[in-house]
Structure 1
């Protein structure tokens, strides 16, 4: 069987001997343009974590988003880690982290020696519930713990409510680090994701809006912070002929070859976001008349629609999200539950936080559907027809 174009690998076989996914959730969208940029970079001889494509990728992303500085790194996690370090976050600090996110958001805090304190989500958008933030910051202050940062996540490509969040943090004297790993191409009130707070992090993992296979980027309006991160990301090496390292640094720099792929992807960003938005609109029409079913953050027209997520009320719908997932999986179509809340992950059980149960309910009732820009019209049609058949059988 042929490999799915743009897939993360060849079809696999699960423990039951069944064929693996033929239609993936969010496969990388790469083609001739990326190939030409990569070949050009290879032929230039710049294959190490330095070179003209790396410098150009940083400049082009910064110009695209309207920030003065950017540092291309090995992952979005690395960007979060170094942003926190550059802000002085370390042992003894706590950092406010949404519980509905990928574990890397909390792990980056743990790398610094600080401790994450979790906050629940807005059930409509899945983003940080800003209404809980003042109370949580007061509780932390009363406990005598210094807050190193608040780390909102632009979940599934929808920006957090920065209009409400930033003034709260400013009044409390707490810096904001924006986890925009999933949100390149999205916006909030006309301002691009990745431009809020003291610093922001993007991810270019294989399943993101644009990919460098693996990679990420730190963005900031603070050029001093940008240069501090750049220094730390290159093993804290001083610019002298011999190797001189005044402090512990990190091997976090993106390679020039991967940056070349990123430059090509950035040129196609608008097209790829448009494809994802079109698919979300098709899902919205399909489920519009289905009782008990809604799309997460369905009123956000500025989202990049990285993943379109359903939320299912089984009492109204007459079926569970997991049943739809199983039906699609039977035909080789990949789905995924909404993020499992971090406070429920074994690594973070018992962590402090302000929790309402919203994130856990979304985890139990939500489902991310195939959303990739690389999906062909035929693959889109197959997904929609398969869902239609599932719904028809339950009328």
Structure 2
């Protein structure tokens, strides 16, 4: 009976022997507050892994986006462009700032922000006499968005760019890492990510002043004082990552490359084993870069088949999910404008209707992969 089977999770944490050792060392040192040597070392390790010049570790990817928008000058009444096909945490911080999200469709060849839709949006707003304060360009499911082209377009219209790579640590565009383009970059270290700190995120930039300001704002904007007084001249946030979680991250990030390779191998195994089913179409890899395959994603022929597949996976205790429900289809953002990839094609809506995310964790055993493959075959039997 399927009820007796062990559940297969979508993307659980994958811990090795280094993480408990480093966490216990941090506990023994009594550095468990949001400061300490492990926090400094983790920021250095993120910089070394990504090529980012300056790094500020915070409590979540959402906090990093919110703080980043603040640093880019987003204020109430502003508008901010954002990919529609993404997790809600990409868009919620726009509202935290009192700004208006304007959503942009994705390209079917990358599942990331559509250049044609972005260009039309920028031109339309320019014709209306409006300039977006920022653009949140999301790298989705481990695939880097076409950030060089996005940055070129946004620069032409005077728009700051946030390289939102919360799901794409380790992905590349050419010889550069996702997250290192634009004015600021964001990574998430949530429990389901390739590298986790349980909860956490970072802001990265080649602009030292921005990251120094991020650290200041993330620690309640406390001013320096010769006597240690708590003086505040501006509003800040309690967003700094704890030293304890940073110790966990140090153990994790040194294995980033091998974790990426395992996820890519899992994706390849799925595609090879299911190659005989023409109704399955796999998420493409952008020609300009290398995906981490954070999640193994595919399309089926219709929403009916997608729903049937998810129900069958659920019966088999396999955690498969729909592709993100686009922001422009969310009741929360019903009043926001949206630009399609083309007049005839709403790519984000189509990917949601037909898309599936399969278990992809780097701790997934071969036997568990076999269960996923066999369950998917049964959907089409």
Report TM bin, short chain: over 0.9
State the match for 1:259 in structure 2.
246
1:163 Cα deviation from its structure 2 partner = 3.1
State the match for 1:310 in structure 2.
298
Residues 292, 314 of structure 1: 8 Å contact kept:
no
1:210 Cα deviation from its structure 2 partner = 0.6
Q: Is 1:26 aligned to residue 11 of structure 2? A: yes
Which shows bigger deviation, 247-256 or 295-304? Answer: 295-304
Q: Which runs of 5+ in 2 are unaligned?
A: none
Matched residues in 2 for 1:179 and 1:19: separation?
Answer: 40
Q: Is 1:340 aligned to residue 325 of structure 2? A: yes
Which shows bigger deviation, 77-86 or 375-384? Answer: 375-384
State the match for 2:232 in structure 1.
245
Give the length in aligned residue pairs. 373
Matched residues in 1 for 2:4 and 2:356: separation?
Answer: 21
Cα deviations by residue, 1:329-385 (Å, 9 ceiling, x for unpaired) = 111000000000111111111211213421111111000000111112221222222
Matched residues in 1 for 2:90 and 2:49: separation?
Answer: 24
Aligned pairs for 1:140-155 within 5 A: 140-155=125-140
SS of the residue 1:63 aligns to:
helix
**Relative to 1, partners in 2 of residues 1:177 and 1:19: Cα closer, same or farther, differing over 3 Å?**
farther
Question: How large is the RMSD of aligned CA atoms in angstroms?
Answer: 1.8
Q: Is 1:374 aligned to residue 360 of structure 2? A: no
Matched residues in 2 for 1:201 and 1:292: separation?
Answer: 35
Matched residues in 1 for 2:362 and 2:151: separation?
Answer: 32
Residues 117, 353 of structure 1: 8 Å contact kept:
yes
Residues 165, 178 of structure 2: 8 Å contact kept:
yes
Match among 99, 115, 123 for residue 130 of structure 1: 115
Matched residues in 2 for 1:19 and 1:121: separation?
Answer: 40
State the match for 1:11 in structure 2.
none
Which shows bigger deviation, 103-112 or 258-267? Answer: 103-112
Matched residues in 2 for 1:86 and 1:257: separation?
Answer: 26
Residues 54, 254 of structure 1: 8 Å contact kept:
yes
Matched residues in 2 for 1:154 and 1:343: separation?
Answer: 18
Q: Is 1:178 aligned to residue 163 of structure 2? A: yes
Cα deviations by residue, 1:83-120 (Å, 9 ceiling, x for unpaired) = 11111111121111011000011111111111110011
Matched residues in 2 for 1:325 and 1:120: separation?
Answer: 25
State the match for 2:104 in structure 1.
119
1:251 Cα deviation from its structure 2 partner = 0.2
State the match for 1:62 in structure 2.
47
Matched residues in 1 for 2:121 and 2:54: separation?
Answer: 32
Residues 287, 294 of structure 1: 8 Å contact kept:
no
1:21 Cα deviation from its structure 2 partner = 7.1
State the match for 2:212 in structure 1.
227
Q: TM-score, normalised by structure 1?
A: 0.91
Matched residues in 2 for 1:322 and 1:41: separation?
Answer: 45
SS of the residue 2:141 aligns to:
helix
Match among 266, 281, 287 for residue 279 of structure 1: 266
Residues 25, 334 of structure 1: 8 Å contact kept:
yes
State the match for 2:284 in structure 1.
297
**Relative to 1, partners in 2 of residues 1:342 and 1:21: Cα closer, same or farther, differing over 3 Å?**
farther
Matched residues in 2 for 1:52 and 1:298: separation?
Answer: 38
Residues 12, 361 of structure 2: 8 Å contact kept:
yes
Matched residues in 1 for 2:309 and 2:270: separation?
Answer: 14
Cα deviations by residue, 1:3-48 (Å, 9 ceiling, x for unpaired) = xxxxxxxxxxxxxxx7897000000111321111100100011010
Q: TM-score, normalised by structure 2?
A: 0.94
**Relative to 1, partners in 2 of residues 1:21 and 1:196: Cα closer, same or farther, differing over 3 Å?**
farther
Residues 19, 332 of structure 1: 8 Å contact kept:
no
1:181 Cα deviation from its structure 2 partner = 0.3
State the match for 1:201 in structure 2.
186
SS of the residue 1:117 aligns to:
strand
Q: Which runs of 4+ in 1 moved over 6 A?
A: 18-21
Match among 321, 329, 332 for residue 314 of structure 2: 329
SS of the residue 1:304 aligns to:
coil
SS of the residue 1:95 aligns to:
strand
Matched residues in 1 for 2:223 and 2:247: separation?
Answer: 26
Q: Which runs of 5+ in 1 are unaligned?
A: 1-17
